[in-house]
Structure 1
Amino acid sequence: MFSPQRSMGQYGTPQETVDYMVKSLLGYLDDGKQSYKILDPSTGDGIFLRSLIRSGVPPSSLVGLDIDPEIPSPHEEITFSHADFLREPNEEKYDAIIGNPPYKSKRQSTYLQENKDYLSKEFQSIGIHNMYSLFIYKGLQQLKRGGVLSMIVQDSFLSNVYYKRFRKYLLQHTEIKEIILAPRRLFHKGKADVRTAILTLIKKYPSDINPEHKMKLIDRLIDQNYFEPMDEQVQHLP
């Protein structure tokens, strides 16, 4: 029998990938701030939050959400609750959001089908095609101006015609800092043979976006060597 995470399309993230994402995220945060508020909206086993704690982030600065009522809090000092992130109010604002959201298409997801009316209204700007794109969009709504989002997601948003409005939204409301095409079969141990990418964004108002900004694109990696990819795999694109 599938777990709630598996039925939603959630799979555990390898530690090396998590540690890179955490280090990258913290590197983009404002060094001048004394404290941060960081959210993992699909906490699962808590691997992202524990990595943040090991990196020196106080547990009291961390917030975790998970829709599965059987998921325990990964740490007693973390603010943790069982909630549906896609239905959370947007009043709460975070300095950063990190995680591995569910990967399920509209055709595959019972959740998307059962919540179609609500989601169609709330996410009409980008359309409802996959759980992960909704998590990214919702995350941007809940970030502070200049906040950082880092998620590992399916790479279908890069070229699939269904994500045209989603790509346009990202270009108009964020500065894309990094896109790293993760190794194939990264989640194969969880029987999820999907192509994934690590996406790191800074939330910007359209008037704040620097037209000369360049993003880092790392071509499909063979292994989880995120810190030292081969030179020919790295591009800096306008």
Structure 2
Amino acid sequence: MLPGDTRDDAALRKSRGAFFTPPPVARFLVDWAVRDPGHAVLEPSCGEAVFLHEIGRRGDGGRPHTGPLVGVEIHPGSAAAAEQSLRAAGVGATIHARDFFGHNEFGRYDAVVGNPPYVRYQDFAGESRARAREAALRAGVTLSNLASSWAAFTVHSALHLRTGGRLGLVLPAELLSVNYAAGVRQFLMDHFSSVGLVLFDERVFPGVLEEVVLLLADGYDAAGGNGATHMQLSQVRDAEGLARLTASRRWTPPAGGAKWSAGLLSSAGLSAFDAAVGSDAFTVLETWGDTTLGMVTGSNRFFTLSPAKVAALGLAPSDVLSLSPPGSRHLRGLGLTPQALHTLGADGRSTFLFRPKGEPSPAAWHYIRSGEDLDVHQAYKCRVRKPWWRVPYLRPADLFLTYMNADTPRVTSNRAQAHHLNSVHGVYLRDDLRRDGMSLLPLAALNSVTLLGAETVGRAYGGGMLKIEPREADVLPVPSPELVRRNADGLRAVRSAVAARLRDGRLLDAVALVDDALLLSTSSLSVRQLRALRRDHGALTARRVARGKVNGGR
């Protein structure tokens, strides 16, 4: 948009992340954040100034607002319309037609309220992104290139508060779960004495498919010396339910800016989950071993080969490695056996990786030259290594962990001793835990606590897939070695039945068998707690899948 351009339509509003806030939401945030008619209030990215209008309406039946009201709006036409409508309503406010990130100071305020623009990182680029990141960095928050616009906006808004001020914002629900928001989450906990969230059962914005939460941050302290130790969580059905909101629950989020996804759990589910993961019965996957990314070829089409193609090329055994084929559909059971790998190869799957161990055979040299004729060596990962055709080596992992999942991450024993690509993760078990980990952890990990934990540590991805990276896998709650050993006989007794249910695609039926063998008989979880865990897992999974059906942002 050119400076001074007053044109506006739905497409232009979407491009700058402008979505106007329903009055019940604006009314709720204003009533919470603005405690005194004399308070100075800022509405950044004000659009039609819905929040400032709500402050004016509050004075209709009582004391009029006397404190300064200020709005900032990057779109000149919207800024002019907002100022005109406020004047017509008898609300005295100053509207700046400027970029909020383009100016270090708009003053200090007792309250900042609003709905930050939501522009995904793909469209949030150039000078706008640079200014936003600089603004966040002034508060000590470093944002990655994956950060959407709201993240920097939240931090920059807080910097305009006076000591003790309140920040009331409409934010995307990804505040709770995305990795790039870790710095924002930590900033809020460090610089406010009280942090609250209001969650919605249903989507709030008409015609907008992004889920939102309301941030209620009180007691701003620029020095950050006395931050919040817990949060207040509230839940309502929809925007109209805000008028009847009374109860909240206290929750202590994990430290270090870790995800707040567990805040989406019900009170009963959260209590049961905390009891389980806080006991000796559960630990994190990192206790068992290290989770790593798989090998990156640069061109799977060239480097991954079926047995038939290896034979047709005349490659020597020293030219190839055994390979778990690209993808993870074949890793939905309890183990990848030599026989299963052989069957995959017989079906034409790529069960070999082209990687000459030493000097390539004559047939391998011929294949390498054919790859150069096809410019495979010019692919990025290929051209930055020498020689281009030798993929960096990783020894076979003890376990595979699927990282893109329609249902839940699966742990599979690598009995075939196959190598793996970056379509799955490898878990390298500690020496003293390898025996139990190989034989029992894939089975034991199919329990309701771990399934729910995966929804809280992973992230919803395109198509509703649940993605889990190695650092997220490290904190995935899994049964402790002690719990697994105590229940080894019970787990072995249900192995065949669990495997059969997995083959039939009946994941939850398989999980129920493991729950009975692992949790109910020997842990402190009650039937009631287990039901709460299962309900919340179902709710979070349904929420993720529903989000995955949506294309685009707010």
Identify the TM-score tier after normalising by the shorter chain.
0.7 to 0.9
1:171 aligns with 2:189: yes
Deviation at 1:59, TM superposition (A): 6.4
Point out where structure 2 has 5 or more consecutive residues left out of the alignment.
1-8, 253-554
Relative contact order (alpha carbons < 8 A, sep ≥ 6): 1 or 2 greater? 1
Letter paired with 1:89: N
Letter paired with 1:136: T
| Residue 100 of structure 1: aligned partner | 115
How many corresponding residue pairs? 225
Question: SS of the counterpart of 1:23?
Answer: helix
Letter paired with 2:174: S
| Residue 134 of structure 2: aligned partner | 121
Contact in 2 for aligned 1:59/1:78 (Cα 8 Å): no
Give distance in 2, aligned partners of 1:197 and 1:185.
10
Question: SS of the counterpart of 1:147?
Answer: strand
Contact in 2 for aligned 1:183/1:224 (Cα 8 Å): no
Give distance in 2, aligned partners of 1:171 and 1:177.
7
Deviation at 1:120, TM superposition (A): 3.4
Contact in 1 for aligned 2:120/2:148 (Cα 8 Å): yes
Contact in 2 for aligned 1:172/1:206 (Cα 8 Å): yes
Change (3 A) 1:208 1:20: same
Question: SS of the counterpart of 1:180?
Answer: strand
| Residue 24 of structure 2: aligned partner | 16
| Residue 250 of structure 2: aligned partner | 236
1:75 aligns with 2:86: yes
Instruction: From the two aligned structures, give the one with the greater helix fraction.
Output: 2
Give distance in 2, aligned partners of 1:223 and 1:83.
30
Contact in 2 for aligned 1:104/1:130 (Cα 8 Å): yes
Identity across the alignment (%): 21
Question: SS of the counterpart of 1:97?
Answer: strand
Please identify runs of 4+ aligned residues in structure 1 that moved more than 6 A.
Answer: none
Give distance in 2, aligned partners of 1:229 and 1:165.
29
* Alignment RMSD: 2.3
Give distance in 2, aligned partners of 1:39 and 1:99.
8
The more displaced of 179-188 and 7-16 is 179-188
1:191-218: per-residue Cα shift (whole Å, max 9, x none)?
x20110000112123223364xx53201
Change (3 A) 1:105 1:58: same
Q: TM-score if structure 1 supplies the norm length?
A: 0.84
Instruction: From the two aligned structures, give the one with the greater strand fraction.
Output: 1
Deviation at 1:223, TM superposition (A): 5.1
| Residue 47 of structure 2: aligned partner | 44
Residue of 7, 25, 36 corresponding to 2:15: 7
Deviation at 1:23, TM superposition (A): 1.0
Larger Rg: 2
Change (3 A) 1:91 1:12: closer
Question: SS of the counterpart of 1:218?
Answer: strand
Contact in 2 for aligned 1:5/1:68 (Cα 8 Å): no
Give distance in 2, aligned partners of 1:215 and 1:185.
22
Give distance in 2, aligned partners of 1:177 and 1:70.
35
Deviation at 1:4, TM superposition (A): 3.5
Q: TM-score if structure 2 supplies the norm length?
A: 0.38
Letter paired with 2:30: V
Deviation at 1:122, TM superposition (A): 3.2
The more displaced of 121-130 and 79-88 is 121-130
Contact in 1 for aligned 2:40/2:68 (Cα 8 Å): yes
